[in-house]
Amino acid sequence: MSGKTHSVAVLGGGAWGTALACAARRAGSDVRLWARNPDVAAGISGGSNPTRLPGVTLSSGIDASTELDAVLPGADCVLLAVPAQAVRGIMENAAPLLSDGVAVAICAKGVERGTLKLMTDVVAETAPAARIGVLSGPTFAGEVARGLPTAVVIAAPDEEAAKTIQSAVGSGSFRAYLSDDTVGAEVGGAVKNVVALAAGIATGRGLGENARAALVSRGLAEMIRLAVTLGGRAETVMGLAGAGDLILTAMSETSRNTSFGMALGSGRSARETLAARKAVTEGYWSAQAVAALAERHGVDMPIAQAVNAILSEKLDIDSAIGALLDRPVSAEFRM
Ligand SMILES: NC(=O)c1ccc[n+]([C@@H]2O[C@H](COP(=O)([O-])OP(=O)(O)OC[C@H]3O[C@@H](n4cnc5c(N)ncnc54)[C@H](O)[C@@H]3O)[C@@H](O)[C@H]2O)c1
Ligand SMILES: O=P(O)(O)OC[C@H](O)CO
């Protein structure tokens, strides 16, 4: 890692943006953060984000603002941590304020609805001069904010950009591994949320731990098939940004995706479950796009399709489970 002090701009005052700001402060970076809500910005500057990270004392020295032009100019590394469906709008406003050659790390996990684009494509379209990377992996924000040991992958085609992001956020407790496979990292992060919804639904329905492990394993096979079809590598999906994140997410009620699925499985509606929570549940917003991407590319993804059918109310949960169990049993590994 270089000895340079990085100037980091974090976009997003939610759980993940706030936690990443803490990680970057621990890495020795100067950190400014943009949040759209003035109370949230004031709280973060004062050392807390009580709605998203209750009980956590944030690293000192995070300078938060609701003005993009107070945060972005001069930054050599941007951490993009708003929900995936907000990335295009934020980047359209941010692009004119970015420094030449800035490294932009996409920290959101999702696929754009409507266009079916991965976040790297959305950022490339909105900020063509940026050097784009993906920061992903098994990372519950509360643990990162507290400084508990965590490992992520930073994937970027430009190795220098990956190293900039690595040294801007990485530290002894936040181990940032490098990769050049953005597609594998992005598909892993986005699709694991949909698989976690499936695992939660099965758990909420009382199908047992064997069923959950089966969904996680077969869901991982779907993640690999989609990533490889889109140009990514299976090994990336088998690493931190895929299997690692899926294990964390699908096995824990801390996950918003898994707990959302559990609520559905136990009979609550998607609408009332969404209305009862403030934080984003990315699998809900990306399931349709993931299913449509699979269909467009002819990738067999029955679990993602089942989740989409449930969320779009084309199938009830028991019929969706029945349909999965009725599928012919084929070779375990196939593309
Ligand atoms: N929380 C985690 O543990 C975690 C870990 C890794 C990755 N992520 C990813 O990071 C992204 C953000 O998640 P989060 O946990 O911070 O969510 P969050 O719900 O805690 O916060 C989202 C923030 O974005 C803001 N926001 C929402 N819509 C917006 C818009 N249109 N324009 C501007 N701001 C908007 C909200 O006000 C909020 O401050 C997601 O893609 C998530 O999958 C989260
Ligand atoms: O709480 P979730 O389900 O949004 O998961 C958060 C992170 O993506 C875990 O790596």
pLDDT for 34-55, tens place per residue?
999 999 999 999 999 999 999 9
Return the axis-axis angle of helices 302-311 and 317-326, rounded to nearest 10°: 160
Q: Is the pLDDT of residue 334 over 90?
A: no
Q: Which ligand is nearest to the CA of 195?
A: 2
pLDDT digits (tens, 9 = 90+) for 82-139: 999 999 999 999 999 999 999 999 999 999 999 999 999 999 999 999 999 999 999 9
Please work out whether the CB of residue 256 comes within 6 Å of at least one atom of ligand 2.
yes
Q: Quick: pLDDT tens for 211-254.
A: 999 999 999 999 999 999 999 999 999 999 999 999 999 999 99
* Mean residue pLDDT across the chain: 97
Q: Ligand 1: which residues within 6 Å by Cβ?
A: 12-17, 35-37, 52, 81-84, 86, 89-90, 107-110, 139-141, 279-280, 282
Q: What atom in ligand 1 is closest to the CA of residue 18?
A: 16
CA distances from residue 288 to 115, 148, 260, 264 in whole angstroms, order as listed: 11, 34, 16, 17
Relative to the alpha carbon of 135, which ligand is closest? Answer: 1
Domains and CATH numbers, the chain: 7-180 (3.40.50.720), 183-326 (1.10.1040.10)
What pLDDT was estimated at residue 312?
96
Distance 286 CA to ligand 1 centre (A): 14
Is 192 designated active site?
A: yes
**Cα 255 to ligand 2 centre (Å):** 5
> Could you tell me the distance, in angstroms and rounded to a whole number, from the CA of residue 150 to the centre of ligand 2?
13
CB atoms within 10 A of CB 42: 14
For the chain, the distance separating the N- and C-terminal CA atoms, rounded to the nearest angstrom, is 38
pLDDT higher than 80, residue 3? no
How far apart CA 58 and CA 144 sit, in angstroms, is 10
| Beta-carbon contacts of residue 54 (< 8 Å; ≥ 6 apart) | none
Q: What is the ipTM for the molecules in this complex?
A: 0.98
Is residue 259 lining ligand 2, measured as CB closer than 6 Å?
A: no
How close is the Cα of 45 to the center of ligand 2, in Å?
Answer: 24
